[in-house]
Structures are given as C-alpha cells and as structure tokens.
Amino acid sequence: MNASPRRQPSVVKRDSPGSPATVVVEEVADPTSATLTVEEDVATDAGQTKRLGTRNGVLRSVGASAAARFAVMPISAFLGIIVTRLLIENYGEATYAQYILLVSVGALIPFADLGVGAAIMNAAAGAKNPRTDAHLRSVLVACIRVLASSAIVIILVAVAIYALGAWPALLGEGLTPSTGGLAATLCLVVFGFSVLTSFGQRIMIALGLNSTVILLQVLQTPIVLLVLWTVISTGVVEATSPSSPTWRRS
C-alpha cells in the first residue's frame, strides 16, 4: 500500500502589504497509509522469523515436520495395503506389477524440473515480503517458463513413444499388451503437468511450511483408493483376476 498525498488547508501568503494575495495548497504524505505499509511488512517478517529466523523457530519447524511425518506414514501405509489388495483381487498380479511399474516412471526422470526448484527456494527464503517482492516475482516468472517448456517436452515425448508403439520395448513385458502403452502415456502426461505446478511446494518449504506440505501429501493415497473403488464399483475396467466376481460368473 503506497502512501497517498493528502491536501492541507489553503494558506494565503502576501510578499508585501501592497502585493496581491497568493493562495498555496500544500500536499503531504498521509502518515496513516505509510504506517499500514510498514505494519504489513513487519508482520510478514515476524512470521518468517518466528518459523525459521531463530533457534527456537528452526527447532519448532523440525519438530512439526517430524510429527506430521509420523502422523501421515501410518495412514498412507494402511491405505496403501488396501489399494494393493483391491488391485490384486480384482485385476490380478500382472496388473499390480504394471501399476507399480507406471507409478515409478516419475522417479526415472529426477531432472524434470531442470534444477529451477533450488532457485525458487532461494528466492522465496530471501524475500523480505514474498507477496510484494519484485525479485521473487521475476524468478517465479522465469522458472515457470522453464517448467512449462519441460512439461511440454515430456508430454510430446510420451505421445511420440505411444504413436510409435515403443512402450513395450522401453518398459518390457510388464505392460499389458492391449492397454499398457496407453496407461504409460497417460501417466507420463500427468507427470508432465505435475512438473508445471511443482513450484508451489518449493515456496512453502522455503517459507518454513514443510509440515503443511507433508500433511497435504496424505491426500494422495485416499484419492487413489477412491478412484480405484469407483472404477471397481462401476465396472469401467472389467476385472480379469480368477478371484474376481466376473471370473466366477463365467
């Protein structure tokens, strides 16, 4: 918020007793607006200092991250076991093997963000006020352009591999012959879009909100379980395992 000028009452001045009167209107900066701007900056700095600027802040951030991790791990592990059981019971061991293979595709491309995550974290951590910092804004704009280019390349490569039918040659016999290539392409396309939006997590970590990032990760497994349960219930993908209801009816 910029300090806006405030008009003062008119002042009448005379250079000499016989000279004509001159009306002068003086403008001064409104001290209230300037005070509000300073208070906003101080509040932002105080929040960052409380999280990471002091020894107690660092210890509190580390403790919160550890507590969040301990809270998330049991939930994710339990729901992951349920996802595994549903996949094997309804679609067989081969489909589960393909699922594990496709989930790990993203880990095979660790350089997808081209290292811009470190630049974003440094700029966000060094910003006095992240909401208005011009340097942070310029870094974000440049990094988003790089991430967009990387995402486009990943998506185009995935589509090209699918068009050429090269997924079986790259991933081997773990893919289902009929739909494995399409599934791999869709996974890589989703991974490409996730690269474009990954800078938000970097900013939160730089601002000392790592525990919030960890707590948000707990949503991943429930979403997978919900989608899988919906697919099984609606029969969008026909079950093929010998233990599935469809096999028993046949």
Tell me, yes or no, whether 114 lies in a domain.
Answer: yes
Express each pLDDT in 173-229 by its tens digit: 778 777 888 888 998 999 988 888 888 888 888 888 888 888 888 888 889 899 999
Same domain, 22 and 64: no
- Asked whether residue 233 is assigned to any structural domain, the reply reads yes
Which pTM value belongs to this model?
A: 0.64
Give the residue-averaged pLDDT of 52-59: 63
* 56 and 31 inside one domain: no
Do 19 and 58 fall within a single domain? no
How sure is the predictor about 152, in pLDDT bands with cuts at 50, 70 and 90?
Answer: very high
Structure-model confidence comparison of residues 207 and 54, the more confident one: 207
Residue 206 belongs to a domain: yes
Same domain, residue pair 23 and 56 = no
181 in a structural domain:
yes
Q: How many domains does the chain divide into?
A: 2
Q: For residue 2, what are the domain limits?
A: 1-35
Does 191 share its domain with 99? Answer: yes
Quick check: is 163 in a domain? yes
Q: Is residue 42 part of a domain?
A: no
Q: Are residues 27 and 76 in the same domain?
A: no
The 3-class secondary structure across the chain, one letter per residue, is CCCCEEECCCEEECCCCCCCCEEECCEEECHHHHHHHHHHHHHHHHHHHHHHHCHHHHHHHHHHHHHHHHHHHHHHHHHHHHHHHHHHHHHHHHHHHHHHHHHCCHHHCCCCCCCHHHHHHHHHHHCCCCCCCHHHHHHHHHHHHHHHHHHHHHHHHHHHHHHHCCHHHHHHHHCCCCCHHHHHHHHHHHHHHHHHCCHHHHHHHHCCCHHHHHHHHCCHHHHHHHHHHHHHHHCCCCCCCCCCHHHHHC
Do 110 and 2 lie in one domain? The reply is no
| Domain assignment of residue 47, yes or no | no
The answer on 27 and 113 residing in a single domain is: no
Question: Does residue 243 carry a pLDDT above 60?
Answer: no
Is the domain of 19 the same as that of 98?
Answer: no
Q: Are residues 27 and 92 in the same domain?
A: no
Q: Are residues 15 and 124 in the same domain?
A: no
The pLDDT tens digits of the residues spanning 154-186 come to: 999 999 999 998 888 888 877 877 788 888 899
> Is residue 143 in some structural domain?
yes
Q: How confident is the model at residue 246 (pLDDT cuts 50, 70, 90)?
A: very low
30 and 133 in a single domain? The answer is no
